[in-house]
Amino acid sequence: MRKIKAQLFMSLDGVVEAPDQWHFPYFNEEMGAAVDATLGAADTLLLGRRTYDSFAGAWPDREAAGGEDAPFAKVLGDARKIVASNRRSTLTWRNSERIVGDLIEAVSALRNEPGTGPVWMSGSVSVVRQLLAAGLLDELNLLEHPIAVRNGLRLFEEGEAPMPLKLLSCEVFRTGVLNLFYAPAESAGQGTYEDAKAHLPQHE
């Protein structure tokens, strides 16, 4: 079974919208390596339509320009790109296909396709939310930046039921960015203040 994994840039206050407006000052070789180890190593990408349009509007031209980022642009272009979209407009970037029918059913089928490598997502917040709610997201990689953006879409909406996660690993970059990997957890467990106070320091 293939695993579905997502990588998002996130601010300290949970904003994931328009990271191009705030995350570049923190993009160093450590973050470049983190992105290359995920998106750059994927043979299949799952993208929401807005993220796809953003990528398709930039990376093919960067590949054609032959600059420093052309090899990474080629990797993205060569990957299979599966797009979650209700619009029937043409997908112009090579190796792109649109999900036909229900998203959850399509991703469930994708997980059961032959292959050992994970399917990676970048951005695509609405798709990530739906897959988390459906229990279809196997891993969530958050690159948490030490900045409070204070404006914009957050990954987790208010008013929803708690969503427990378990931390798989954490790395601190020199810029202060936290490279966090989470997986869904069955339960946050139970506890009260009476349970917690046993762990408080005991002072005479």
Domain count of the fold of the chain: 1
Does 160 reside within a domain?
Answer: yes
Q: What is the pLDDT of residue 6?
A: 98
Instruction: Walk along the chain (204 residues) and give the pLDDT tens digit of each residue.
Output: 899 999 999 999 999 999 999 999 999 999 999 999 999 999 999 999 999 999 999 999 999 999 999 999 999 999 999 999 888 778 999 999 999 889 999 999 999 998 879 999 999 999 999 999 999 999 999 999 999 999 999 999 887 788 899 999 999 999 999 999 999 998 777 889 888 988 888 887
* CATH number, residue 87: 3.40.430.10
Does 204 reside within a domain?
Answer: no
Query: Of 47, 57, 50, which Cα lies nearest the Cα of 7?
Result: 47
Q: What is the pLDDT of residue 52?
A: 96
Does 42 reside within a domain?
Answer: yes
Does 31 reside within a domain?
Answer: yes
Does 70 reside within a domain?
Answer: yes
Q: What is the pLDDT of residue 197?
A: 86
Q: What is the pLDDT of residue 71?
A: 96
Does 117 reside within a domain?
Answer: yes
Q: What is the pLDDT of residue 40?
A: 94
Q: What is the pLDDT of residue 170?
A: 98
Residue partners of 116: CB distance under 8 A and separation at least 6:
2
- Please, what sign has the CA dihedral across residues 21, 24, 26, 31? positive
SS (H, E, C) the chain: CCCEEEEEEEECCCECCCHHHCCHHHCCHHHHHHHHHHHHHCCEEEEEHHHHHHHHCCHHHHHHHCCCCHHHHHHHHHCEEEEECCCCCCCCCCCEEECCCCHHHHHHHHHCCCCCCCEEEECCHHHHHHHHHHCCCCEEEEEEECCCCCCCCECCCCCCCCCCEEEEEEEECCCCCEEEEEEECCCCCCCCHHHHHHHCCCCC
**Residue-number span of the structural domain to which 120 is assigned:** 4-199
